[in-house]
């Protein structure tokens, strides 16, 4: 069992009236969001520039210049940012060692098992890896952290369909009862069975937050997300 | 580690100080280039001591390499502290200031190594100037350089941290550069007016005459045309003392600011 026991607090994440400004523009505008179910995979949908990355960075505690509050009662979060963070000259085995030195919560054995299963060679340098491989390495490292809340910012963007399927399989295999994973993406098609909840962000506001089952009953996830984004509903 | 991982060639047993080893490897190429250029210019000048041009090339090479690595060291720390451009440590469980201190120590070590090579290159000139007092001069030179680097790196950490509180990347970098310039120029003026108030002239760079033995206003090498008083004149000790005081004050202030203030640790 990699995850610690669940605490008594019911919320996994509580965001209240979060507003983030970049100059005069509100990147996030009075956003409130509560995630209460552990073991869920939450799809965070929205177009480019909708505010998904900013929301995740606020939750991770990396952006502190904001109004409103962010509470993660279970403690810290693991964040996969939307751009690569490993140094290009690192070999993969050295990357795992470095991550283990920097991240006290990293399960290095878990990370190696995942990388090995994906067929990634330990002596491959980060700078020599393809974009798909790079995404797999980053994802494997972040998923190997013992955190109750994991935030993945666009892990499926700009990879080929085969790699995307591998990444989705990796996410599925990571599903654990005590931990919640939030996956930010602007892709909707073919991901219905991955998610338990769906959150849609549009122009810095949350316009939809519902169970995937409920959304599916109203015409399917893809159609509903497109409908919400097109119509700008305030259904949160 | 399980058998499968060992067989597959994965050697990931955690090592103490892995972060610092990686940081050293990342910074080594730039420092090595500066060290090799310094050594090459010095060796060329030493092989033909009567060839004035080579002597000038050596002096220019040393000066350019020092200027480049000084600016480079500041840029590494500003990028980490002010701009939070190095995402890997930001995502971790170590506090950012811990990583910042480590980066500063690695840079300090490399700059010291560069200084050792520079001193070796300059030994013939120093020997001509100091003769029997060479050991005292070299000891003082090492001490002055250590104090100078300590003052520089702690001031960079402090100024970069204060600049990080300014919203906007462009404005923050401008504040950092302006802040560093103010501190270094301020120290130079203080050293000049306190150490050699009767002189109106000074030059940048390190002199090897007895009355100009290695002065540093923070990281800035300075030659004041002050009267000589022994192999290590009083103004030289003033330079060491001033850098020492600045390093202690900057470190104490930085510790306080870094603990109390928070700012965005990834660019928006």
Distance CA A110, CA A41 (A): 20
| A122 contacts on B by Cβ (under 8 Å) | 8-12
Cα–Cα–Cα angle for A29, A30, A32, rounded to 5 degrees: 125
CATH code of domain A10-76+148-236: 3.40.50.300
Residue A75 at interface with chain B, using a CB cutoff of 8 Å: no
Which pLDDT belongs to residue A182?
95
Kindly list the domain boundaries of chain A, sorted by start residue. 10-76+148-236, 86-146
> B233-263 pLDDT, tens per residue?
777 888 899 999 999 999 999 999 988 777 7
Sheet (strand B220-224) strand order: B202-204, B220-224, B215-217
Contact of A16 with chain B, judged by CB distance below 8 Å, is answered with no
Is some CB atom of chain B closer than 8 A to the CB atom of A105? yes
Other Cβ atoms closer than 10 A to B175? 19
Going across the sheet that includes A180-185, the strands are A77-80, A149-153, A180-185, A41-45, A197-202, A205-211
Residue A24 confidence (pLDDT): 82
| pLDDT of B8 | 64
Cβ–Cβ below 8 Å for A122 and B11: yes
**Residue A58 sits at the chain B interface (C-beta within 8 Å):** no
Give CA separation, B19 vs A99, A139, B29, B106, in Å. 9, 20, 17, 11
pLDDT for the residue numbered B186: 94
Whole-model pTM? 0.85
Quote the pLDDT of residue B140: 82
Q: Quick one: pLDDT at residue B28?
A: 96
Task: Please give the pLDDT value at position B210.
Answer: 46
Strand-strand pairing, B215-217 and A67-71:
unpaired
For the residues of chain A, what is the DSSP string, one character each? --SPPP-S---SEEEEEEEEEETTEEEEEEEEEEE--TT-EEEEE--TTSSHHHHHHHHTTS----EEEEE-TT--EEEE-SS--S-TT-BHHHHHHHHHHH-TTB-HHHHHHHHHHTT--TT-BGGGS-HHHHHHHHHHHHHTB--SEEEEESTTTT--HHHHHHHHHHHHHH--TT-EEEEEES--TT-TTT-SEEEEEETTEEEEEEEHHHHHHTT-HHHHHHHHHHHT----
Q: Count the Cβ atoms, other than its own, within 10 Å of residue B255.
A: 15
Question: Out of A57, A112, A142, whose CB is closest to B266?
Answer: A57
- Is there a common fold for A10-76+148-236 and A86-146? no
Rounded to a whole number of angstroms, the distance from the CA of B112 to the nearest CA of chain A is 25
Q: Is CATH 3.30.160 what the domain over A86-146 is classified as, yes or no?
A: no
Residues of chain A with pLDDT under 50: 1-8, 233-236
* Per-residue pLDDT, B205: 67
* Per-residue pLDDT tens digits of chain B, which is 268 residues long: 444 445 467 877 767 788 999 999 999 999 999 999 988 888 887 777 778 888 788 888 888 898 999 999 999 999 999 998 888 988 888 888 999 999 999 999 999 999 888 888 777 777 777 777 778 778 888 898 999 999 999 999 999 999 998 888 899 999 999 999 999 999 999 988 888 777 766 666 665 554 556 788 888 888 776 555 566 677 788 889 999 999 999 999 999 998 877 777 765 4
Alpha helices in chain B (DSSP H): 3-7, 18-47, 52-81, 87-90, 96-130, 134-164, 169-195, 234-260
ipTM over 0.90: no
**Angle B96-B249-B212 from CA coordinates, rounded to 5°:** 115
* Angstroms from B108 CA to nearest CA on chain A: 21
Residue A6, pLDDT score: 43
Q: Cβ B91–A22 below 8 Å, yes or no?
A: no
* Cβ contact B93–A102 (<8 Å): yes
Residues of A in contact with B12 (CB under 8 A): 93, 96-97, 100, 108, 111-112, 122
Tokens representing A190 are 């073919």
Radius of gyration of chain A (CA): 17
Can you give the pLDDT at residue A162? 86
């Amino acid at each position: 069992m990699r995850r610690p026991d669940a605490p008594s607090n019911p919320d996994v994440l509580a965001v209240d009236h979060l507003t983030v400004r970049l100059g005069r523009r509100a990147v996030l505008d009075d956003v409130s969001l509560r995630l209460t179910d552990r073991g869920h995979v939450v799809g965070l949908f929205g177009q480019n520039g909708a505010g998904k990355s900013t929301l995740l960075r606020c939750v991770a505690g990396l952006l502190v210049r904001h109004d409103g509050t962010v509470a993660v009662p279970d403690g810290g979060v693991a964040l996969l940012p939307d751009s690569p963070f490993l140094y290009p000259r690192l070999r993969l085995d050295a990357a795992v060692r470095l991550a283990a030195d920097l991240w006290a919560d990293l399960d290095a054995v878990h990370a190696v098992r995942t990388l090995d299963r994906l067929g990634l060679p330990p002596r491959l340098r980060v700078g020599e890896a393809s974009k798909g491989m790079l995404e797999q390495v980053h994802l494997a490292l972040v998923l190997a952290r013992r955190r109750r809340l994991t935030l993945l910012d666009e892990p499926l963007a700009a990879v080929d369909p085969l790699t995307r399927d591998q990444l989705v399989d990796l996410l599925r295999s990571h599903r654990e009862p005590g931990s919640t994973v939030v996956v930010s993406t602007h892709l909707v098609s073919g991901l219905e069975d991955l998610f338990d909840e769906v959150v849609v962000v549009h122009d810095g506001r949350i316009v939809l937050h519902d169970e995937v089952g409920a959304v599916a009953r109203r015409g399917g996830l893809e159609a509903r997300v497109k409908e919400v984004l097109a119509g700008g509903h305030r259904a949160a | 580690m399980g058998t499968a991982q060992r067989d597959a060639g994965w050697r990931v047993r955690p090592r103490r100080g892995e972060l610092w080893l990686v940081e050293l490897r990342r910074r080594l190429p730039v420092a090595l280039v500066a060290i090799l250029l310094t050594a090459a210019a010095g060796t060329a000048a030493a092989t033909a001591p009567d060839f004035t041009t080579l002597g000038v090339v050596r002096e220019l090479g040393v000066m350019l390499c020092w200027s480049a690595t000084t600016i480079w060291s500041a840029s590494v720390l500003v990028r980490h502290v002010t701009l939070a451009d190095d995402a890997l440590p930001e995502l971790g469980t170590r506090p950012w200031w811990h990583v910042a201190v480590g980066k500063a120590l690695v840079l300090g070590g490399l700059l010291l190594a560069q200084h050792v090579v520079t001193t070796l290159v300059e030994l013939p000139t120093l020997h001509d100037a100091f003769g029997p007092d060479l050991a005292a001069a070299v000891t003082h030179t090492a001490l002055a350089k250590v104090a100078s680097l300590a003052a520089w790196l702690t001031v960079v950490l402090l100024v970069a941290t204060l600049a990080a509180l300014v919203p906007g990347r462009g404005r923050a970098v401008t504040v950092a550069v302006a802040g560093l310039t103010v501190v270094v120029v301020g120290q130079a003026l203080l050293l000049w007016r306190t150490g050699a108030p009767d002189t109106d002239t000074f030059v940048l760079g390190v002199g090897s005459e007895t009355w100009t033995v290695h002065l540093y206003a923070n990281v800035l090498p300075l030659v004041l045309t002050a009267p000589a008083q022994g192999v290590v004149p009083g103004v030289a000790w003033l330079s060491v003392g001033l850098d020492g005081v600045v390093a202690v004050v900057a470190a104490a202030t930085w510790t306080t600011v870094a603990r109390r203030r928070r700012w965005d640790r990834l660019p928006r």
